[in-house]
Structure 1
Amino acid sequence: MSRQSPSLAAVGITLDPAPGIAVSRHLYERIRDAILSGQLRPGLRLPSSRALAAELGVSRTTTVTAYERLRDEGYLDGRVGAGTTVALLQIPPAAAPVHQPPAVRRPPRLSAQGAALAGVRWRIRHAMDGPGSGPPAFPVGRPALDAFPAELWGKVVARRARRSAGSLLRYQHPAGYRPLREAIAAYAGMARAVRCTPEQVLVVGGAQAGLSLAARLLLDPGDDAWMENPGYYGARGAIIAAGATPVPVPVDEDGLDIAAGKALAPRARVAYVTPSHQFPLGVTMSLPRRLALLEWARTADAYVVEDDYDSEYRYVGDPLPSLQGLDGSGRVVYVGSFSKVLFPALRIGYLIVPDELVDAFAAGQRFAAAHVPALEQAALTDFIADGHFARHVRRMRALYAERGAALVQAARRELDGVLSVTPAHAGLHVIGWLPDGMDDGAAALRAAEHGVDVQPLSAHAQEPGRRPGLLLGHAATPEPDIVTGIQRLAAALTAAS
């Protein structure tokens, strides 16, 4: 039970410390906060340490310790014959720990670039654990961590640490661990028809790090960059962070509209595309559009950033060849990642850049804020060389196809007339189309309240106008939870209709 000092009762000084917090520290914090908030005004005389100890029912050592710390920090004055008084301080209003109501708070003062970055929304709300137990259903872009061979990965890392920890303690080449770059070049050539040498590969801290590096090296402040609309928020953020302007270019059933891009920003320096599986709509860029995009880049002296974020997961036919494999002019910067294939915390991605850009990108990587730890790079190299990576991709391709089919089947049964779910032939998510005029942002908020983590399609668009829809990830949600999640989503959507 808390005790209150009669001398300080008017300002509500109480002692009720949380477990593990020293009483002297708690008393110090309570008096300090009262001084900063103006409740204890400058010049006010406080009880002696002995009197205060008696009033609060604590040892005198406790009050002496608190007073001494407050005097040392300048909050109190203690003079012989004058007792202990609040120091004569000019306390700025911002120092007061009193929480202002949200309505009177001033917005933070940001740079123009900071304000623009803060406005890049990637989802309306992140659904935390909802009703029941376990993570929310349908997170977008998350792989099946329940199916990842974590024990095997741990053994690979431990073995690598034992065998070559000494050699991995030295500075590494800024482009990354050479054996991993060789493994990536071989894999991308075989699986994605990418044409490259290991020298063209740079290992980066995830796809986002690669996008940011490319934007900084290829764009000057004020430059225009074509951006798929709707499109990946991370690419838009990277363009803005480089000081450039993302120009929203419409996407149709054939992918990015090249003619519209030329009309909107004929002097653009970069075009960002996801040609194999457009995010978020899921369409594939047609061959005529691919050739037209490469021709534009060649004649305009521009570059194309190809984000091949989930090309491993195509459920009908073979994975489509990359745009980079068609490029004969050195105009494509290819971005790949292991985060969605293995696990997000790995944070290993890679860039494959044209020969003429290798030195510039290596220099840019040298001064980047983060580098991938060498042990993780070496362990991933072993994981690929031992065949574990290829086997994991094959297993996940089958698993994700099953989970995607289960989601579509459950949605058709539970959401008929409320949400029209389009089957996906690739990737880790499907799109559910809402009735015209419905607010997909509000629908996503209601879903979050029911423990369902979906993304509104509008959050990925720079310009309004497309039919409202929701993105539902199926990779990370086991089949039993898919049925439960669809039922929760149905409850959320029908309650508002």
Structure 2
Amino acid sequence: MPLQRQLYVQIRDLVLKGRLLPGERLPSTRFLAKELSCSRNTVLGAFDLLFAEGYLEGQTGSGTFISGVLPEDLGTIAQALGEKGQTGGVRSGRGLSKRGLELAAMEKRVHRSHRVFAPGMTDLDSFPFPLWARSLARTWRYPKDEVLRNPDPCGYAPLRKTIADHLRAARGLQCDWRQVMITSGSQQAVDLMARVLLDSGDQVWFEEPGYPGLRGPLHSAGITTVPVPVDAEGLSVEAGRRLAPSARMAVVSPSHQYPLGVVMSLRRRLELLDWAIENDSWVLEDDYDSEFRFSGNPLSSLQGLEAERLQRSGQAGRVVYLGSFSKVLFHVLRLGYVVVPEDLVDSVAAARALLDDRSSLLAQPALADFMAEGHFSAHIRRMRRLYAERQICMLENIRRFLPEYLEVEPDETGLHLTAFLTDKVMKKTTDREIVRRADQEEISLSPLSLFYASPENIHQGLMMGYGACTREEIKQGCQKLAGVFMKAVT
């Protein structure tokens, strides 16, 4: 085998075995050539192959790095390497379980420092930090005993009461504050509910495409996720019945499907609730950014719709509601909540105390004060207007600078737009390659193909966030992205 090919294979294998990690910097080609006693052209040729296949990425003036978005077959190859190892049939990887290997290969999202078009990011410049600091100071200058002594594992009671009041008024939920339990985010909530409500080996309907961050906790609990296609009305209940008729749960984002942005129709919502009752199954409702709806009032939640029906029938609730403050306030706050059916409160509280004593209490009293003072609602109103303006700006600039490359429609909710690659682009490249090239221009995008579990269903597109971008940054970002596309398709 030529030296160039040997070097390419050896570096690729180090990546696939996890010995070279995403984001890790490689030595310079000049240094490697000297160390290996070979021509620098040999090293450059090997690097070119690795760049072309997506294993490496370069940053001008900063060096060469292991790519954060690795080739699509990484999970399969890495698992095969881990199971076979070097000794033929003995699993390597420092004793990782099969589940551990699968989890390590499953997560492919990349977190970048630059903010242009980063999906899910909020505008920190507009957050009222002086008011937040005042709430922090007020609650921690002389903290109450209930914060410091034997706090409730389900969370700070005044915050749970404030959240319940907000959900009843803004989202149409029907719940007592005791049903609200504070978590460290949606992923922890999913992990908790999977362990309480499901058994290892149970099947769960999962939106296709869907948010990988929620698939991981389910997988770690031994749950089998069944990809169920999303159409113009939301998750297809008919397809779910066909693919997994005995599923024990459906995980959905009905108010603003992630990543496509579809709003589940009333007909489909009722169909889903009927299925849950008939099948003695659960519905996990992820309501991650419903506050930012730009036209009309926010849609009522599945939980609220179910509660209206249950009052007439007397049946127990089947919907578990998830919410998070990351998309509403700021990402690093790491506070969320889960609203459980009333008859499950004691059981879930007991399990929570055993699995995870409590979420951090540092921010909970301050957030309760911040909401009680009216700052939370005022902030949502301000940001709703701002994000609506930024979405319009994003649409205008995509249609101005990128009409040959992207097809996009307005969205009534949220912090991102999902734009689909045109046929012209798909004949030449993929969304992952565009994301890799855009990253070199300090543009942060997510490839739509990343959110599909079934290769045969994949659509190509880009998730483009506008929450953290000014109007000028949106314009400049679209111009730079047009240059990225032009190089990729010519």
Query: Normalization by structure 1: what TM-score?
Result: 0.75
Shift of 1:127: 3.7
Give 1:181-330 correspondences, 5 Å limit.
181-327=160-306, 328=310, 329-330=316-317
How far the C-alpha of 1:396 sits from its partner, in A, is 0.6
Task: Check whether the contact 2:154–2:358 (CA below 8 A) recurs between aligned residues.
Answer: no
SS in 2 for 1:272: strand
State the partner residue of 1:145.
124
Distance 1:255 1:379, change over 3 A: same
Match for 1:112: what amino acid? K
Matched residue SS, 2:355: coil
2:371 pairs with one of 384, 391, 402 = 384
The SS at the match of 1:227 is strand
Q: Distance in 2 between matches of 1:416 and 1:179?
A: 50
Bigger drift between 320-329 and 265-274 goes to 320-329
The aligned length equals: 386
**199-208 or 242-251, larger mean C-alpha shift:** 199-208
Aligned to 2:461: 469
State yes or no: 1:358 paired with 2:349: no
Q: State the secondary structure of the residue aligned to 2:288.
A: coil
Per-residue deviation, 1:221: 1.0
For 2:472, the equivalent position in structure 1 comes to 480
CA distance in 1, matches of 2:251, 2:379: 29
Distance 1:197 1:118 in 2: 39
**Structure-1 residue corresponding to 2:102:** 116
For residue 441 of structure 1, the aligned residue among 429, 432, 441 is 432
Q: What SS is found at the alignment partner of 1:164?
A: coil
Q: Deviations over 1:280-312 (max 9, x none)?
A: 000111111111111111111110000000000
Within-5 A mapping of 1:327-406 = 327=306, 328=310, 329-369=316-356, 371-406=358-393
Return the letter of the residue paired with 1:121. E
Q: Cα distance, 1:165 vs. partner?
A: 4.8
Q: Which runs of 5+ in 1 are unaligned?
A: 1-105, 129-134
Asked whether the equivalents of residues 153 and 359 of structure 2 are also in contact (C-alpha less than 8 Å), the reply is no
Native 8 Å contact 1:324 1:332 kept in 2: yes
**CA distance, structure 2, for counterparts of residue 311 and residue 488 of structure 1:** 31
Name 1:178's counterpart in structure 2: 157
Q: Distance in 2 between matches of 1:372 and 1:476?
A: 27
Whether the aligned pair in 2 keeps the contact of 1:122 and 1:460 (CA below 8 Å) is no
Q: Secondary structure at the match of 2:229?
A: strand
- Contact 1:254/1:289, CA 8 A, preserved across alignment: yes
Asked whether the equivalents of residues 321 and 338 of structure 2 are also in contact (C-alpha less than 8 Å), the reply is: yes
Tell me if structure 2 keeps the 8 A contact 1:126–1:448. Answer: no
Structure 1 equivalent of residue 444 of structure 2: 453
1:211: Cα distance to partner? 1.4
Q: Deviations over 1:130-184 (max 9, x none)?
A: xxxxx33011111111111112211110111113255421121111111111111
Secondary structure of 2:408's counterpart equals: strand
Aligned to 1:496: 488
Q: Distance in 2 between matches of 1:258 and 1:108?
A: 42
CA distance in 2, matches of 1:136, 1:400: 15
Per-residue deviation, 1:119: 2.7
In the TM superposition, what is the alpha-carbon distance from 1:109 to its structure 2 partner? 4.8
The residue correspondences of 1:86-125 to structure 2 (distance < 5 A) are 109-123=95-109, 125=110
Specify the code of the residue in structure 1 equivalent to 2:478: I
For residues 82-121 of structure 1, what are the alpha-carbon distances to aligned partners after superposition, in whole Å with 9 as ceiling and x for unaligned?
A: xxxxxxxxxxxxxxxxxxxxxxxx7665212112212323
Larger Rg: 1
Check conservation: 2:106, 2:216, Cα contact below 8 A.
yes
For 2:161, give the aligned amino acid. E
Q: Which amino acid aligns with 1:247?
A: V
Cα displacement (A) at 1:471? 0.1
- Residue pair 1:233, 1:460 contacting (<8 A) in 2 also: yes
| Displacement of 1:466 | 3.8
**Structure 2 counterpart SS, 1:433:** strand
Alpha-carbon distance between aligned partners in 2 of 1:373 and 1:126, rounded to the nearest angstrom: 23
Per-residue deviation at 1:374? 2.5
AA aligned opposite 1:425: E
Give the letter aligned to residue 386 of structure 1. E
Alpha-carbon distance in 2 for matches of 1:301, 1:234 = 26
SS in 1 for 2:226: strand
Amino acid at match of 2:363: E
From the superposition, tell whether residues 143 and 368 of structure 1 become closer, same or farther in structure 2 (CA, over 3 Å): farther
1: CA distance, partners of 2:399 / 2:96: 46
Preserved contact between residue 115 and residue 468 of structure 2 (Cα < 8 Å): no
Aligned: 1:428 with 2:418: no
Q: Secondary structure at the match of 2:296?
A: coil
Give the secondary structure class of the aligned counterpart of 1:139: coil
Distance in 1, Cα, partners of 2:374 & 2:478:
36
SS state of the match for residue 422, structure 1? Answer: coil
Extract unaligned runs of 5+ from structure 2: 1-91, 311-315
Counterpart residue identity of residue 448, structure 2:
L
- Please tell me whether the aligned partners of residues 160 and 375 of structure 1 are also in contact (alpha carbons under 8 angstroms): no
Q: Tell me whether 259-268 or 479-488 shows the greater mean CA deviation.
A: 479-488
CA distance in 2, matches of 1:467, 1:162: 53
Give percent identity, aligned residues only: 46
Deviation of residue 450 (structure 1)? 1.1
Mapped partners of 1:493, 1:126: distance in 2: 22
Residue aligning to 1:8: none
| Contact map agreement 1:226 1:265 (CA 8 A) in 2 | yes
Distance 1:379 1:393 in 2: 17
Distance 1:271 1:398 in 2: 33
Q: Which residue of 2 aligns with 1:46?
A: none
